[in-house]
Amino acid sequence: MSPHTAGPKALPVARRSFLGTLGGATTAAVATAGLSLDSSIAPAAAAAFLDEAPPGDRIAEAYAARLHAADRMAAVPLPAQVSNGDETGVPNYAASYTKALPHDELGHVDPSAYGQLQDALASGETSDFESLTLGPGHRLLTNPMAGLSFDYEGLDPQQFTQPPAPAFASAETAGEMVELCWMALLREVKFQSYGVHPLAAAAVLELDQLSDFNGPTQGGHVTPQTLFRDDLPGCLVGPYISQFMWLDTPFGAEEVDRRMRTLLPHTDHATRFDEWLAVQEGFVPGSERFDPVRRYIRNGRDLAQWVHIDVLFQAYFDACLILGTPPSAGGLGCSLNPGNPYLGSQTQLGFGTWGAPFIKTLLCEVATRALKAVWFQKWFVHRRLRPEEFGGRVHVHKSGRFQYPLHSDVLNSKAMKLLKLKNGSWLLPLVFPEGSPTHPSYGAGHATVAGACVTLLKALFDEQFLIAHPVVPNASGTHLLPFNGPPLSVGGELNKLASNVATGRNIAGVHWRSDARESLFLGERVAIELLKDTLSLGPEDMEDGVSFTGFDGSTITVTPG
């Protein structure tokens, strides 16, 4: 592993300029966060103001609350940010994200253009980003500067970290790529048919024999029930798709029919090298072809398209509406988390705090904080290549045009052989004509938002509540039928919802399993820190906090920060 400094040792200019507007003592405290810091030191003027304020002074109390939140944040040191070393260890930046920059005929990035990107990330200057050399398709990079943003609640985006991504040449990366190839081959197969479909059986067999595969197992082996799933609590129970992606959604006096506009089958993109190279250069050579019939999510292609154009917190807002609406109005009427301070009240209902408007606002609020945290990881720490870029490396390698340090598990994969027979190339077929978004792969934005929003929903609703009338779609995906199987809990189906969204991006060919897994946990940490501040700011007695089940199965109790 090699340490990676996120930008220069001094703060980028945008952050230094902001600090210059603060008082001297506050500037010193913030600028040295992560070093030896006495977070109890406040500016002299602030201390005097608080000392002189009369008892019950509202402004003084509000000011003290904000100072307390800032002190809590400043007491947490900046973590070491560690990349996997591939940027300097693999020639031609072949293991790094380079999409939308200019490339040569093999798909290697122009080194001077990549150097410009590195310089801009180090300086943090808008002018340096505006001077970048983009590929001839002139597709714009997605918001690198978001990783330099501040926040007013929770921790600073740069106080979170993720472990190094699996290395380019590792067996783990090879195993993840083999899984992505099987996902591509199985996009038209219904999730409910995995137990009987021969292609799914072949996928199970190969994944079970890989040197390093981190998907869930049953009895120590990959099975049709574990295929393309996660081992979060509840994710292996019942149908592959969460109930919260099928149940119609009450929206006030309206109702949202969850049948979606999906794509026609067998409409993959970038399966020829010239098309693949054009996509890396910023062009979008293909176009979408849509099914004229709207359907409930049935298979990988449907799920991939759902996560293509969703509002990032859409799935969880839908779930929130389903959970909080009574059955008489089309929802589940789920009870609230037992830690809600108004559950035992004989005189009050929660509303602006710990009631319906509060819950929905907090759910949306955490999404932007999650994005800032993961955008710092993407651009300033890891810069991991997208699976489509890795597929290009495999194709060039197996074509004998250039040799990369690729693990034998991917080079000898049956899934790769089947793709070559089907498409005439070893490229990873993509669901979206533009391929991946124009930002690095690790961590995953969708998965981080999923982890954050689902964590909040578990902290706000009773995760033990059982879904009364679960459903599954019919074979054509045009109607819902009763599901007859094991009981499905709200907590399990929320975890499954997060997994569906994160894994749907993998099925589309734009993310890796480790992107999804580690980003769910990143989002969980972001939500916990936001909750700490939220609990501190309310007037209610919340000393016991709220408890819920974490993604690792442990009980998490969040108390005021």
Query: How many whole angstroms separate alpha carbon 502 and alpha carbon 260?
Result: 18
Active site residue 382: no
Is residue 280 a contact partner of residue 99, using CB atoms and an 8 Å limit?
Answer: yes
DSSP states along 191-203 = GGGTTT-HHHHHH
Active site residue 446: yes
Q: What is residue 296's three-state secondary structure?
A: coil
Burial (0-12, 13-18, 19+ Cβ within 10 Å), 536:
middle
List all residues 6 or more positions away from 419 whose beta carbon is below 8 Å from its beta carbon.
Answer: 181, 184, 185, 425, 426, 427, 428, 429
List all residues 6 or more positions away from 469 whose beta carbon is below 8 Å from its beta carbon.
Answer: 482
Is residue 224 a contact partner of residue 527, using CB atoms and an 8 Å limit?
Answer: no
Task: Label the pairing between strands 254-256 and 249-251.
Answer: antiparallel
Catalytic residue among 4, 382, 407, 446: 446
Structure tokens at 362: 């907090």
Query: How many whole angstroms separate alpha carbon 252 and alpha carbon 466?
Result: 23
Catalytic residue among 4, 269, 397, 439: 439
Query: How many whole angstroms separate alpha carbon 358 and alpha carbon 399?
Result: 57
Residues linked to residue 251 through DSSP beta bridges, in sequence order: 254
Alpha helices by DSSP H, listed for 4-132, are 13-19, 24-31, 44-52, 58-74, 86-89, 111-123, 126-130
Catalytic residues: 439, 446
